C-alpha cells in the first residue's frame, strides 16, 4: 500500500480574506469606470462617423438614380424612390434609429440627420450632419 502524503491546511492558508476581496473589487471597479468613460465617448464619435458615411452612400445612390432617371427624386417621394428602383435595399436609418431626412433644394439633394437629440441644431453628438458641406465641391 502506498501512503498518500496529505498536507493539512491551516486556517490561515484557506481562501481569501474579506479585505483581499474588497481590494480586488475596488480595483476592478476603477478599471471598469475608466474603460466605460472612454468607450462612451468613442461610441458617440463612432455614431457620428457612421452617419457621415451613410450620408455619403445615400448621396452616391442618388447620383445613380440621377443617371438612370435624369433628375433627382422630388422631396415628397424622397428616399423611397431609391428603394423602389432597388438602388438601396431598404430605407436607411441613422445610427440613432431615425430615418434620414431628404429634401431637394435648388435641384440638389440634401440629406440630413439631426444627430443624437433628433432636433435641429446642437453641438457635439447632438450636432446636425448633412451633405450640405460637400455640395460646394
Q: In tens digits, what is the pLDDT along the chain, a chain of 137 residues?
A: 555 555 555 555 667 788 989 999 999 999 998 888 888 778 888 999 999 999 999 999 999 999 999 999 998 888 999 999 999 999 889 999 999 999 998 889 999 999 888 888 888 888 889 988 644 43
Q: Which domains, and CATH codes, for the chain?
A: 17-135 (3.30.700.10)
What are phi and psi for residue 2, nearest 5 degrees?
Answer: -95, 145
Look at strands 101-105 and 129-130 and give their pairing: unpaired
Q: What is the pTM of this model?
A: 0.69
Residues recorded for the chain: 137
Amino acid at each position: 500500500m502506498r501512503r498518500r502524503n496529505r498536507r493539512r491546511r491551516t486556517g490561515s492558508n484557506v481562501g481569501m480574506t474579506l479585505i483581499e476581496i474588497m481590494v480586488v473589487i475596488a480595483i476592478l471597479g476603477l478599471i471598469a469606470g475608466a474603460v466605460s468613460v472612454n468607450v462612451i465617448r468613442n461610441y458617440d464619435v463612432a455614431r457620428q462617423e457612421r452617419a457621415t458615411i451613410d450620408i455619403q452612400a445615400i448621396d452616391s445612390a442618388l447620383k445613380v438614380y440621377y443617371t438612370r432617371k435624369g433628375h433627382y427624386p422630388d422631396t415628397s417621394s424622397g428616399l423611397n424612390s431609391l428603394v423602389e428602383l432597388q438602388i438601396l435595399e431598404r430605407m436607411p436609418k441613422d445610427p440613432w434609429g431615425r430615418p434620414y431626412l431628404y429634401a431637394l433644394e435648388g435641384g440638389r439633394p440634401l440629406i440630413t440627420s439631426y444627430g443624437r437629440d433628433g432636433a435641429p441644431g446642437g453641438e457635439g453628438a447632438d450636432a446636425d450632419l448633412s451633405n450640405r458641406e460637400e455640395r460646394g465641391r
